[in-house]
Amino acid sequence: MIVDRIFQKIGANRAHYFGRVFEGVDIRKIMAKSDDLFGVDGEIRLKLLEHVTTNSGKADKVHQTCSDICLALKLWDGAFSDIHMQNPSVEHCQSTQKRIDKAMAHIRSMGFSITPKMHGMEKHVVTQMQTIPGGIGKLMEHWIEQYHQIGHRFDMAYCRVGSLTGQAAIRSSVEKRGRNPRVQMNKQFLLEKFVGRNKKRSAAIANDEKKIHIKQERRNEALAEILVAIESKKIEAIRQKLKVQEDLDELDELADLETKLFGLIVA
């Protein structure tokens, strides 16, 4: 509880609905404050040392553990910072791989197991940085954590199926059914039919409709501006054509007048 209060001072709270672990946004806060928490004068280190002042062996263990955690947080903070670089160069990608390798070596030295996320960081992230146009900064920021949460929900929903093959088959079937146009149409029908029973859903639909209306107004305004520009160009072209015709008519009249005054001139 004391350690949790220290974490809460920097805005990091364990997610009770997610196994009392820290989510990504909280981990970033902890990485940014690693020295303040686990450094030589870190608040958590000092608090732990208060309970082992009479045992030098345990004090050494506290110092070693806090130093290892502090270094791990710093290494991963640097690695994640490099990964978010937009349009990374070859040199930057090579430097990022070295940072990740160093962080992974430290994690292994601490005795932690390698999770699928860590494996992906170690073996695949830099390749993706090199092959995906613009890098993966925006992709990581907006989608990876979200997809992780979606995957966790699927895992919890099908964990009793037994085999991983069975889980994959059921999930594939559910996703395929969800993309079926008839299923989407029926879901929309139910949504519209029973919208009055759910105020939150009604508010969400109203908000979506408002956004659509605003977008349509902007499109109409842009279209009107384009039409005005086109009409202006047409009018200008007609004016130019009329002016040319007027000039030709004046020339014809002048030629007729010369003929009347001087007669037909034969070359």
What confidence score (pLDDT) does residue 254 get?
65
Q: Give per-residue burial for 45-72: e unless 16+ CB within 10 Å, then b.
A: beebeeeeeeeeeeeeebeeebebbbbb
Q: How far apart are alpha carbons 145 and 167 in whole angstroms?
A: 21
Above 70 in pLDDT, residue 164? yes
Percent of the chain with pLDDT over 70: 76
Average pLDDT over residues 120-135: 88
Q: Per the structure block, which two tokens stand in for 203? A: 């508010």
What confidence score (pLDDT) does residue 266 get?
47
Q: How far apart are alpha carbons 120 and 116 in whole angstroms?
A: 6
Tens-place pLDDT, residues 128-137 = 888 888 888 7
> In this structure, what DSSP letter does residue 18 have?
G
Q: How far apart are alpha carbons 111 and 63 in whole angstroms?
A: 17
R_g (Cα) of the chain, nearest Å: 35
Tens-place pLDDT, residues 60-104 = 888 899 999 999 999 999 998 898 888 899 999 999 999 999 999
In contact, 95 and 88? CB cutoff 8 Å: no
In contact, 145 and 24? CB cutoff 8 Å: yes
Q: Per the structure block, which two tokens stand in for 144? A: 């990876």
Facing residues of 21 across strands? 15
Q: How far apart are alpha carbons 196 and 207 in whole angstroms?
A: 15
Sketch the domain layout of the chain as residue ranges: 1-135, 199-267
In contact, 36 and 46? CB cutoff 8 Å: no
Long-range contacts made by residues 39-43, C-beta under 8 angstroms, separation at least 24? 39/66, 39/70, 42/66, 42/70, 43/6
Q: How far apart are alpha carbons 104 and 82 in whole angstroms?
A: 15
Tens-place pLDDT, residues 228-251 = 777 777 777 777 776 766 666 666
In contact, 84 and 28? CB cutoff 8 Å: no
**pTM score:** 0.52
Tens-place pLDDT, residues 170-190 = 888 888 888 888 888 888 887
Query: What is the DSSP code string of 157-175?
Result: HHTTS-SHHHHHHHHHHHH
Above 60 in pLDDT, residue 196? no
Average pLDDT over residues 103-126: 90
Average pLDDT over residues 206-227: 75
What confidence score (pLDDT) does residue 66 get?
92
Q: Per the structure block, which two tokens stand in for 63? A: 């110092």
132 or 161, which is more confident:
132
